[in-house]
Structure 1
Amino acid sequence: MKKIGFGGSCHWCTEAIFRSLRGVTAVEQGWISSDGENAVPSEAVIVNFDPDTISLQTLITVHLHTHSCTSAHEMRSKYRSAVYTFDDAQAQEAVQAIQNLQKDFTDTIITRALPFQTFKLNEENYLDYYYKDPSKPFCQNIVNPKLKTLLAKFAKDIAPEHLSHLVAL
């Protein structure tokens, strides 16, 4: 098993997206910090995955296509657009993947590969937020459109136990 961190939109959205993928064994939702100017924690997830089932490249591709990876909007301090890496090899792979995926976007990708420093898990009642009750207004209005994008672009990567729910959206 491997792990990687992702931030870019609310951690409830990001958690639902990555929990829906085949090969993802766990998603920890909370706040991640890096170093330097990125030392203040921002909403993010740690994705535990089986690299024999889903590649880091696929995870990064999903990440970039399911949040505003080219927008330097005013909420970026809360929703830092990042791939949090756990070693130098993973950092190099993340940087290369982001560079290679630029061709998919008109505007410049602002997502950065950053070294993971710390993680604070969210409160229990907010964990698995979407899948506990997808009928909540936030889930319907904010998370569902991202899951529809996931289904449209990455249907082959969705875990079978989640596919029927996503098709019903």
Structure 2
Amino acid sequence: MSTLNSNSNQDHIQIATLAGGCFWCTEAVFLNLEGVISVQPGYIGGTTENPTYKEISTGLTGHAEAIEIKFDTRKIDFETLLEVFFATHDPTTLNRQGADVGTQYRSEIFYHDDNQKQISENYIAQLNLENTFGKSIVTKISKASRFYVAEDYHKNYYNRNTSQSYCTYVITPKINKLKEKFQDKLKK
């Protein structure tokens, strides 16, 4: 279900769940967007209940590292989230983002309602039609299943560890790309 408290005055609050490689990267990107209320790193799409980072890192649980984004539709829409998602990771590599390799690093959209599913399908079809990436997009579209919030040390990882080498060489360039391409969508 994409709206929280759908019978209340919070109908404008929705959830999006995206997997685009390492969740430290995707969390850092989406935390910067105006209209994003919160971003939780976690695990989705696997078979193990209550998985740990160590377990999903084996690639054997079937989970993807993902983020759950709570957003305000009065300030940002789902399609804009997809625009940023596709601009800040490589959706043409199967089970890989840079040096991060394995099914846990796959590109996948976990939709919460039929509207998100349709928008995702249409968006990917348009990108493929325009040959935006020069290769076909391998991003999967799946119905959202149970999302397991990651361990506390993963939360806000980039902002707490900006000088760590992975952050410097992998995440900072994504943040710079976001700032360059989506300046008008950033939090003030």
Q: Same fold (TM over 0.5)?
A: yes
- Say whether the 8 Å CA contact 1:7–1:81 is kept in structure 2: yes
- For the aligned residue pairs, the C-alpha RMSD in angstroms reads 1.7
C-alpha distance in structure 1 between counterparts of 2:181 and 2:102, whole Å: 25
The Cα of 1:76 is off from its aligned counterpart by 4.4
1:18 matches 2:30? yes
Q: Which sections of structure 2, spanning at least 5 residues, go unmatched?
A: 1-12, 48-60
The Cα of 1:124 is off from its aligned counterpart by 0.8
- TM-score scaled by length of structure 2: 0.78
1:114 matches 2:136? no
The Cα of 1:94 is off from its aligned counterpart by 1.3
Q: 2:75 aligns with which of 46, 53, 56?
A: 53
1:132 matches 2:144? no
- Say whether the 8 Å CA contact 2:95–2:106 is kept in structure 1: no
Q: 1:101 aligns with which of 104, 127, 131?
A: 127
Deviations 1:27-83 (A, max 9, x none): 010111169xxx821101011111111111111011011111111255240112111
Does the residue aligned with 2:182 lie in a helix, a strand or coil? helix
Deviations 1:79-108 (A, max 9, x none): 121111111221111111221233222111
1:81 matches 2:81? no
Q: Quick one: percent identity of the two aligned structures? A: 31
Q: 2:40 aligns with which of 9, 20, 28?
A: 28
> Deviation above 4 Å: which 4+ runs of structure 1?
none
Give the number of the structure whose residues are more often helix, by fraction.
1
- TM-score scaled by length of structure 1: 0.86
Deviations 1:110-138 (A, max 9, x none): 11221111111111122110112322222
Does the residue aligned with 1:40 lie in a helix, a strand or coil? coil
Correspondence for 1:72: 94
Residues 62 and 111 of structure 1: CA distance in aligned 2, closer, same or farther (over 3 Å): same
* AA at the equivalent of 1:134: T
Correspondence for 1:164: none
1:8 matches 2:37? no
Does the residue aligned with 2:33 lie in a helix, a strand or coil? coil
- Say whether the 8 Å CA contact 2:46–2:64 is kept in structure 1: no
- Say whether the 8 Å CA contact 1:34–1:116 is kept in structure 2: no
Count of residue pairs brought into register by the alignment: 157
